[in-house]
Structure 1
């Protein structure tokens, strides 16, 4: 049985497909009727896909039988998927051409595999007369990682227990042949749940028995096993006598489900963090604007002139307030981007004028840090007239963050060089080269994490660790991205790549 692809919206779930496949196999074991099993498979495929279908059995190139759900009248069905077993064609799955898709067929693969094995048995029965053993069915299930078991309840003997043992890496006959022997492999914490599932089925509360539990493999690891079964024989008092079922190694499926739960929990935590940051930013911005406003009034009040020391103190208050307001604004913008609530208007933006405006805005900061600012670009009119598709305000914000970062972490008499160039895909890049200390290789994976200052939290350069995270978030929201390379002690290069604006006309 082929591995199932990730679930997609609009397609039948893995649980539903596997449940139908297991149900068909169990019913075949009980009824020994391949024709009935193929009829049920057709009904299951129709139910799960919403499409009329026919299972067409072939011998050589000749159709010898067809099984459908009774909903094919008036529909044109075509062969869409070969049904094989042991490398040999057994028949075809027929569906309406306009309704089938590769993704649907992939989702139905367990039923398709089961149909191929059932057709092989049906053809063998038709040719040989008396029903053969269940060898073909067992072989098909074994190849897909599932194994059949039979349990004589009064004697506690498990038929085919060796197949389950081999699944866990044991030798044939190594673990015994009773349910008590098998229970020794089950994790103690899972035994009560298994017993509850069995009792629910035996008492008629569940149509079949199903349990997922941990069993100890031969190498000492705990592996997850999915077990399904059904009571097929009872005594005159309704007590169960005989049960058949299947076992599947579910370790990969359980790991996938756990990863999905962890992903959903991480997304929920991220959403809660975004809401918190947004609310805190809003709450802090209003009083901080009031502080800055009153600071300006004190500085400008002609009736209450402050002495030099007071002016200096007030200037420090305003400087700190402006710095804090900048952090609050970055927090708010980052929360809006992460919450996908940032308003963006993508238009063609002339790249060179925007770069020149950004450099002009940070020039005083560069001069204060004794850092030179230079711009280089390829010759020719193409670079001069280059346009990218972006929100001009947000693109400017992202680039200023890159320039500010390059200046802050530079050295005295250092240089920040801005390079404009087109990449091989036709997008435009703005490279920001600096001559600072660079970034240690072990820190590179954390470069764009919010609040992560890469070990510089107690260094001489102030900051909250939001600039690069916000720049990357803004670039991504506009269809671009930022990459970085650095050699520790030699400087860094941050590259902002944005899609080119389409030509007018």
Structure 2
């Protein structure tokens, strides 16, 4: 054996010897012979000691170009000994033990000798398979585990176009074994027409050496006619003397679920961006509308109080209508802006302990005039003193007034609105119950959507359909919930709105 240790061989020489050993395996189908050739090539290239050891240290080893049987792990040779695990399809099948020239950087050696290590891993794997050594850590179990995880192994002989293990890919798509053919051309017919060019470009880039490995994500037609997303990875492992690819292997993975999750993530990001743009737009529009609207309301007020040129009764009535319409529009703009801000999480809130009794009294006082004008009776069940809830006082008052006002507007003359409160564990349940026209049960799911009035757009009661959507958003922002329920049939038509809030400590 030549004990001289020349510098590391050239990259071209390493690739040539690795390809030659793999080509020998392809032609002879004799992994032991191919391993002998690889060992001789390594001794020739490195000039030092070289050993390939089967992973469990109880099989064969190769040293100095001779194929030997060893029961014990070889002794570490003198000099700079380097041990590297050899892998095949992610499984460690052996160990490379080599004596490198003094002063060699291991990182440089690792990159330079990588083709030899890959070839050695491939040959040892074939040698183990040929000897029938298929124990718990064997390649068959590795492939079975990959198959269970939705990943399948393929091997492509470019000279014959034979695609090994194509039946595993067919199984992934729901086809029975042998039903789609046995060549790469047969598999290509399953690829979505829009993805064919991308797959070919990825392969050609790898074949030209522009990228280290091949990767493509494409759609393939499944047995049931739907399209499944496939992630395919591979590497050319053999080339002929002219450098043309002759053998390639890799994996296929069903990436449909991953693609759907990624698409859902992109949709969510797009929705968030659209929501942010909507909030910004509404904010700007609201401010722009408020300025001229306040001017309209201001001049209407001046007309009403102008004693120098007093209005006639008819003119005064018309100015009052202008003010009413302006006030309604201004309130709608405010609700729209609040809703956009709370949806974006940008509405300022001051969480505090809110005494429930005082809150309820204030809200009832503010709607008494409206109830009297509509002929609706306001009722209140006894609320325990000193009960307090967590929330923003102003926003809670806004929600309660909206619920009470709706209960009055959509009621009937002689009807009633009842406000009650119950303590349930650490929560307070506020209920606004009315004896009005009721709500259709099959449309309750749309009640809290913006601009939804459930078919009452042309009715006598004015409304924008924003109040309930805003109320629910505000309550949820305060950690509570708001829901609507039809009254039991024996109680007649009507609706109960239930507001659940956390009790203050």
TM-score norm. by structure 1 comes to 0.71
Q: Secondary structure at the match of 2:484?
A: strand
Report if the CA contact (8 A) 1:373-1:417 is conserved.
yes
Per-residue Cα deviation, 1:322-375 (whole angstroms, up to 9, x for no partner): 111111111122122123222211111101110111011111111222111111
TM-superposed CA distance for 1:237, in Å, is 2.3
**Which stretch of structure 1 is more off in the superposition, 149-158 or 365-374?**
365-374
The aligned residue for residue 396 of structure 2 is 395
Alignment partner of 1:266 out of 271, 280, 294: 271
Q: Secondary structure at the match of 1:453?
A: coil
Alignment partner of 1:490 out of 490, 493, 505: 493
Q: Within 5 Å, which residues of 2 pair with 1:103-122?
A: none
**Which stretch of structure 1 is more off in the superposition, 357-366 or 440-449?**
440-449
Alignment partner of 1:356 out of 337, 356, 361: 361
Q: Using the alignment, how far apart are the partners of 2:277 and 2:469 within structure 1?
A: 18
Q: Using the alignment, how far apart are the partners of 1:354 and 1:224 within structure 2?
A: 58
Report if the CA contact (8 A) 1:345-1:391 is conserved.
yes
TM-superposed CA distance for 1:130, in Å, is 6.6
The aligned residue for residue 217 of structure 2 is 212
Q: Does 1:250 align with 2:255?
A: yes
Per-residue Cα deviation, 1:44-92 (whole angstroms, up to 9, x for no partner): xxxxxxxxxxxxx9xxxxxxx9xxxxxxxxxxxxxxxxxxxxxxxxxxx
When Rg is computed on C-alpha atoms for both structures, the one with the higher figure is: 2
Report if the CA contact (8 A) 1:370-1:413 is conserved.
yes
**Which stretch of structure 1 is more off in the superposition, 186-195 or 128-137?**
128-137
The aligned residue for residue 110 of structure 2 is none
TM-superposed CA distance for 1:131, in Å, is 8.2
Alignment partner of 2:192 out of 172, 187, 191: 187
Alignment partner of 1:286 out of 287, 291, 299: 291
Q: Secondary structure at the match of 1:176?
A: coil
Q: Secondary structure at the match of 2:200?
A: helix
The aligned residue for residue 115 of structure 2 is none
Alignment partner of 2:170 out of 165, 170, 178: 165
TM-superposed CA distance for 1:129, in Å, is 10
Report if the CA contact (8 A) 2:206-2:212 is conserved.
yes
The aligned residue for residue 334 of structure 1 is 339
Alignment partner of 2:311 out of 275, 298, 306: 306
Q: Does 1:440 align with 2:440?
A: yes
Q: Using the alignment, how far apart are the partners of 1:417 and 1:196 within structure 2?
A: 72
Q: Secondary structure at the match of 2:463?
A: coil
Q: Secondary structure at the match of 1:438?
A: coil
Q: Using the alignment, how far apart are the partners of 1:463 and 1:184 within structure 2?
A: 59
Q: Using the alignment, how far apart are the partners of 2:132 and 2:451 within structure 1?
A: 75
Q: Secondary structure at the match of 1:450?
A: coil
Q: Within 5 Å, which residues of 2 pair with 1:476-487?
A: 476-486=476-486
**Which stretch of structure 1 is more off in the superposition, 170-179 or 257-266?**
257-266
Q: Using the alignment, how far apart are the partners of 2:224 and 2:190 within structure 1?
A: 12
The aligned residue for residue 413 of structure 1 is 414
Q: Using the alignment, how far apart are the partners of 2:273 and 2:446 within structure 1?
A: 21
Q: Secondary structure at the match of 2:495?
A: strand
Q: Using the alignment, how far apart are the partners of 1:308 and 1:149 within structure 2?
A: 91
Give the superposed CA RMSD: 2.5
Report if the CA contact (8 A) 2:389-2:502 is conserved.
yes
Report if the CA contact (8 A) 1:418-1:432 is conserved.
yes
**Which stretch of structure 1 is more off in the superposition, 156-165 or 232-241?**
232-241
TM-superposed CA distance for 1:160, in Å, is 0.3
TM-superposed CA distance for 1:296, in Å, is 1.2
Q: Secondary structure at the match of 1:475?
A: helix
Q: Using the alignment, how far apart are the partners of 1:173 and 1:258 within structure 2?
A: 33
Q: Using the alignment, how far apart are the partners of 2:341 and 2:221 within structure 1?
A: 48
TM-superposed CA distance for 1:433, in Å, is 0.8
The aligned residue for residue 475 of structure 1 is 475
Q: Using the alignment, how far apart are the partners of 1:435 and 1:204 within structure 2?
A: 79
Q: Using the alignment, how far apart are the partners of 1:194 and 1:341 within structure 2?
A: 46
The aligned residue for residue 76 of structure 1 is none
Alignment partner of 1:223 out of 224, 228, 238: 228
The aligned residue for residue 376 of structure 2 is 371
Q: Using the alignment, how far apart are the partners of 1:437 and 1:468 within structure 2?
A: 17
TM-superposed CA distance for 1:294, in Å, is 1.5
Q: Secondary structure at the match of 1:341?
A: coil
Q: Secondary structure at the match of 1:384?
A: coil
Q: Secondary structure at the match of 1:336?
A: helix
Q: Secondary structure at the match of 1:422?
A: strand
In structure 1, the gaps of 5 or more residues are 1-29, 33-56, 58-64, 66-117
TM-superposed CA distance for 1:397, in Å, is 0.6
Per-residue Cα deviation, 1:290-312 (whole angstroms, up to 9, x for no partner): 21111111111221111111111
In structure 2, the gaps of 5 or more residues are 1-25, 32-55, 57-72, 74-120
Report if the CA contact (8 A) 1:158-1:179 is conserved.
yes
TM-superposed CA distance for 1:204, in Å, is 2.2
Q: Secondary structure at the match of 1:362?
A: helix
